[in-house]
Structure 1
Amino acid sequence: MSTSPSPAATPKERRPKPIVSGRKSMPEHITVKVFVLAPIVALAIAVPFAWGWGLTWVDVGLAALFFVVSGLGVTVGYHRYFTHGSFKAGRPLRVALAVAGSLSAQGQVIQWVADHRRHHAFSDRAGDPHSPWLFGTGPKALAKGFWHAHMGWLFERDITNAERFAPDLLADRDIRRVDALFPLWVGLSLLLPGVLGGLITWSFWGGVTAFFWAGFVRIGVLHHVTWSVNSICHMIGDRPFTSRDKAANFWPLAIFSFGEAWHNLHHADPTCARHGVLRGQIDISARLIWMFEKLGWARDVRWPTTARLDRLATAKS
Structure 2
Amino acid sequence: MEKLGFVVETPLIQRLQRRHFLLFDVLPLLLVLATPLYWSYLYRSYFEVLLFALMWLATGLGITVGYHRLFTHKSFQAAWPVQVILAILGSMAAQGGVTSWVAIHRLHHEKSDSEGDLHSPNQNGTGLVNRLKGLLHSHFLWMSRHPYPNVVRYAPDLLRNGHVAAINRNYYRIVLAGIVFPAFAGYLYHGDARGVLSGLYWGGVLRIFVLEHIIWSINSFLHVFGARDYETKESSRNVGALGLITLGESWHNNHHRFANSPSFGLKWYNLDPGFWLIKLFEIAGVAWDLRLPDAKQVDGRRLMR
TM superposition shift of 1:54: 4.2
Which segments of 5 or more consecutive residues in structure 2 lack a partner in the other structure?
none
Could you say what secondary structure the match of 1:67 adopts? helix
Match of 1:18 in 2: 5
- Residues 63-88 of structure 1: CA deviation (Å, up to 9, x unaligned): 11110110000000000000001100
TM superposition shift of 1:163: 1.2
- Residues 106-138 of structure 1: CA deviation (Å, up to 9, x unaligned): 000000000000000011000111000011122
Alignment equivalent of 2:247, drawn from 258, 262, 266: 258
- Residues 179-202 of structure 1: CA deviation (Å, up to 9, x unaligned): 000011100111100101110122
Match of 1:10 in 2: none
Checking the alignment, whether the CA contact within 8 Å between 1:225 and 1:253 is kept in structure 2 is no
TM superposition shift of 1:25: 4.0
TM superposition shift of 1:304: 3.3
Match of 1:271 in 2: 260
Q: Kindly provide the amino acid, as one letter, of the partner of residue 132 in structure 1.
A: P
Alignment equivalent of 2:48, drawn from 59, 67, 85: 59
Checking the alignment, whether the CA contact within 8 Å between 1:266 and 1:272 is kept in structure 2 is yes
Q: Does 1:73 align with 2:56?
A: no
TM superposition shift of 1:230: 0.5
Q: Kindly provide the amino acid, as one letter, of the partner of residue 173 in structure 1.
A: G
Say if 1:47 and 1:60 are closer, same or farther in 2 by CA, change over 3 A.
farther
Q: Kindly provide the amino acid, as one letter, of the partner of residue 165 in structure 1.
A: Y
Say if 1:290 and 1:33 are closer, same or farther in 2 by CA, change over 3 A.
same
Q: Kindly provide the amino acid, as one letter, of the partner of residue 18 in structure 1.
A: G
Q: Does 1:180 align with 2:169?
A: yes
- Residues 191-227 of structure 1: CA deviation (Å, up to 9, x unaligned): 1001011101222211211111111110000000000
* 1:62-211 mapped onto 2 (5 Å cutoff): 62-211=51-200
Q: Does 1:242 align with 2:231?
A: yes
Q: Kindly provide the amino acid, as one letter, of the partner of residue 66 in structure 1.
A: M
Match of 1:300 in 2: 289
Q: Kindly provide the amino acid, as one letter, of the partner of residue 8 in structure 2.
A: S
Q: Does 1:231 align with 2:216?
A: no
Could you say what secondary structure the match of 1:226 adopts? helix
Distance 1:245 1:286 in 2: 24
Number of residue-to-residue matches in the alignment: 301
Identity %: 34
Which segments of 5 or more consecutive residues in structure 1 lack a partner in the other structure?
1-15
Checking the alignment, whether the CA contact within 8 Å between 2:43 and 2:195 is kept in structure 1 is no
Distance 2:175 2:95 in 1: 9
- Residues 144-167 of structure 1: CA deviation (Å, up to 9, x unaligned): 110111011101142111111111
Checking the alignment, whether the CA contact within 8 Å between 2:41 and 2:194 is kept in structure 1 is no
* 1:272-287 mapped onto 2 (5 Å cutoff): 272-278=261-267, 280-287=269-276
Q: Kindly provide the amino acid, as one letter, of the partner of residue 90 in structure 2.
A: G
Distance 2:104 2:159 in 1: 14
Could you say what secondary structure the match of 2:118 adopts? coil
Distance 2:101 2:75 in 1: 17
Give the TM-score taking structure 1 as reference length: 0.90
Q: Kindly provide the amino acid, as one letter, of the partner of residue 88 in structure 2.
A: V
Q: CA RMSD in A?
A: 1.7
Checking the alignment, whether the CA contact within 8 Å between 1:17 and 1:164 is kept in structure 2 is no
Checking the alignment, whether the CA contact within 8 Å between 1:88 and 1:300 is kept in structure 2 is yes
TM superposition shift of 1:59: 1.3
Checking the alignment, whether the CA contact within 8 Å between 2:17 and 2:145 is kept in structure 1 is no
Checking the alignment, whether the CA contact within 8 Å between 2:218 and 2:252 is kept in structure 1 is yes
Alignment equivalent of 2:29, drawn from 27, 36, 40: 40
Q: Which moved more, 1:68-77 or 1:26-35?
A: 26-35
Checking the alignment, whether the CA contact within 8 Å between 2:42 and 2:197 is kept in structure 1 is no
Could you say what secondary structure the match of 2:234 adopts? coil
Distance 2:132 2:293 in 1: 35
Q: Kindly provide the amino acid, as one letter, of the partner of residue 78 in structure 1.
A: Y
Q: Kindly provide the amino acid, as one letter, of the partner of residue 233 in structure 1.
A: L
Could you say what secondary structure the match of 2:202 adopts? helix
